Amino acid sequence: MAEKIILQSGAELEVTESDILTQHKLLNAVCQEVKGLDVSPLASGAQVNLNVIKDLFCIMLGSDKIAKAIEPMLRRATYNGVKINDFKFFDNEKAKPDFLEVLKEVARVNLAPFGKFVLSQLKAQGVALGTKAGTATTNTPLK
């Protein structure tokens, strides 16, 4: 199923979910990259910890493993009706400013099927996402 997304620039991105094996590669890459991230400030019920968010953001954007896992998913997306073949598509000056937002949306669409399960497992382990321990909900939007 394709999802149409209007980017902040006004460009239209259409993303179709990849096959389960490709999605699993992305999920695995994300898990491998963030497994060492200290989320204890979140589990303790503290206010949103900007250092945790910064670390997560830098891991997600700076990971070659995650980029490698996302690239095949880009081939199932269009940008203003033009098929995205690979990262070189964003060498275009008009598309370049949307690069990070496109990556985020492609990842979100392809990780969303796993979201409810992952959040329920975190809750079962007593990890709260921005709430007091043990009170995280599984209906948190992934956007």
Tokens of 88: 């070189």
Q: Quick one: residue 17, left, alpha or beta (phi over 0 = left, psi -120 to 50 = alpha)?
A: beta
- Least confident range of 31-40, 91-100, 111-120: 31-40
Q: Position of tokens 């991105």?
A: 13
For residue 22, the tally of other CB atoms under 10 A from its CB is: 17
Q: Rounded to two decimals, what is the model's pTM?
A: 0.74
pLDDT per residue over 64-103, tens digit each? 999 999 999 999 999 999 999 999 999 999 999 999 999 9
47 is written with which tokens?
């206010």
What local confidence, expressed as pLDDT, does residue 35 receive? 80
With a cut of 50, say whether residue 121 has pLDDT above it.
yes
Q: Residue 115's pLDDT band (boundaries 50, 70, 90)?
A: confident
**pLDDT confidence of 62, banded at 50, 70, 90?**
confident
Determine the average pLDDT of the residues in 19-28.
94
pLDDT for the residue numbered 41: 63
